[in-house]
């Protein structure tokens, strides 16, 4: 099921895009970047919904009723949570909206990782499995094996750049930074007692490091996806005027 509906379609799209990069000498890195743009376009409605939710949360922070219940129930956290949930429900706000796009990425990340490994097929069994994954309209025999080199990276392997004799996981660092910026830009301002917003804040700290860990540990093609996706997300928020730039400065709300 997972294979049929996630891995195989993803692998074929990746290979189809790769075939289309013939003019630039078949480049799997470019194929991953184009694939990420495609994924971003497909998940556009989710992102728009998330931005709407974020905006709702921002407006809520200035709402009189919201401020009043914070004040009134500051010593009763259970009651405060109940009241907050009531307001969320009444106004159609999803308090987990800021986490959703990140969580939605999880199956995409797993699927993409498996598709990259399957497409690059560095071993006989993976190449045989890849040959089984091809749709009939694709004739990839002319492009196999795929060129896994992109800039200084082998996209099928974890990345590191040697600087003064030390192997530095540069992509992982870029992943952490861009993930952090993206999370912060879409995190609404919060009051001290707002548990949902606190959770969002916590996610915006933990998730970049988690993504960075994955970027450091797994195939660098995955890190390329993370970075492209993050940059596209940042650009998207900025273009829509929804980015909360003040969040990037520590101490400012």
Task: Identify the residue among 30, 109, 138, 173 touching other proteins (CB under 8 A).
Answer: 109
Check binding of 126 to other proteins (CB under 8 A). yes
Q: Which of 202, 207, 172 is nearest to 190 (CA)?
A: 202
Q: Distance between alpha carbon 11 and the CA centroid of its chain, in Å? A: 19
Nearer to other proteins, 128 or 240 (CB): 128
8 Å CB contact between 198 and 253 = no
Residue 144 Cβ vs other proteins, minimum distance, rounded to whole Å: 5
Q: Which of residues 135-164 bind other proteins (CB under 8 A)?
A: 141-142, 144-145
Residue 92 Cβ vs other proteins, minimum distance, rounded to whole Å: 23
Task: Identify the residue among 8, 34, 117, 155 touching other proteins (CB under 8 A).
Answer: 117
8 Å CB contact between 100 and 139 = no
How many chain residues touch other proteins (CB under 8 A)?
A: 31
Pairwise CA distance, residues 46 & 94, whole Å: 12
Task: Identify the residue among 33, 203, 223, 232 touching other proteins (CB under 8 A).
Answer: 203
Task: Identify the residue among 38, 67, 198, 240 touching other proteins (CB under 8 A).
Answer: 198
Q: Which of residues 41-80 bind other proteins (CB under 8 A)?
A: none
Label residues 211-250 b or e (16+ Cβ within 10 Å = b).
bbebbbebbbbbbbbbbbbbbbbbebbeeeebbbeebeee
Nearer to other proteins, 58 or 147 (CB): 147
Token couple for 99: 């986490």
Residue 68 phi, psi dihedral angles, 5° rounding: -65, -45
Cβ neighbours for 115, distance < 8 A, ≥ 6 positions apart: 7, 10, 11, 14
Residue 208 Cβ vs other proteins, minimum distance, rounded to whole Å: 12
Check binding of 131 to other proteins (CB under 8 A). yes
- What residue ranges bind other proteins (CB under 8 A)? 103, 106, 109-110, 113-114, 117, 122-128, 131, 141-142, 144-145, 195, 198-199, 202-203, 206, 210, 213-214, 217-219
């Amino acid at each position: 099921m997972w294979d049929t509906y996630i891995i195989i379609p993803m692998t074929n799209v990746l290979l189809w895009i790769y075939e289309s990069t013939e003019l630039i000498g078949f480049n799997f890195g470019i194929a991953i970047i184009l694939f990420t743009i495609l994924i971003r376009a497909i998940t556009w409605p989710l992102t728009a919904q998330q931005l709407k939710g974020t905006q709702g949360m921002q407006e809520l922070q200035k709402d009189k009723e919201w401020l009043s219940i914070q004040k009134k129930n500051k010593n009763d956290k259970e009651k405060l949570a109940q009241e907050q949930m009531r307001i969320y429900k009444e106004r159609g706000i999803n308090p987990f909206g800021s986490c959703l796009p990140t969580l939605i990425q999880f199956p995409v990340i797993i699927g993409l990782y498996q598709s990259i490994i399957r497409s690059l097929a560095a071993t006989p069994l993976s190449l045989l499995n890849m040959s089984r994954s091809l749709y009939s309209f694709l004739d990839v025999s002319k492009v196999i094996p795929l060129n896994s080199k992109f800039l200084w990276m082998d996209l099928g392997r974890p990345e590191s750049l040697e600087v003064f004799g030390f192997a530095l996981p540069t992509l992982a660092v870029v992943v952490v930074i861009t993930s952090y910026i993206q999370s912060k830009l879409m995190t609404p301002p919060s009051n001290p007692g707002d548990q949902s917003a606190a959770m969002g804040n916590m996610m915006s700290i933990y998730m970049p490091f988690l993504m960075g860990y994955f970027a450091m540990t797994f195939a660098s093609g995955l890190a390329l996806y993370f970075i492209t996706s993050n940059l596209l997300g940042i650009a998207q928020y900025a273009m829509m005027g929804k980015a909360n730039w003040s969040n990037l400065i520590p101490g400012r709300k």
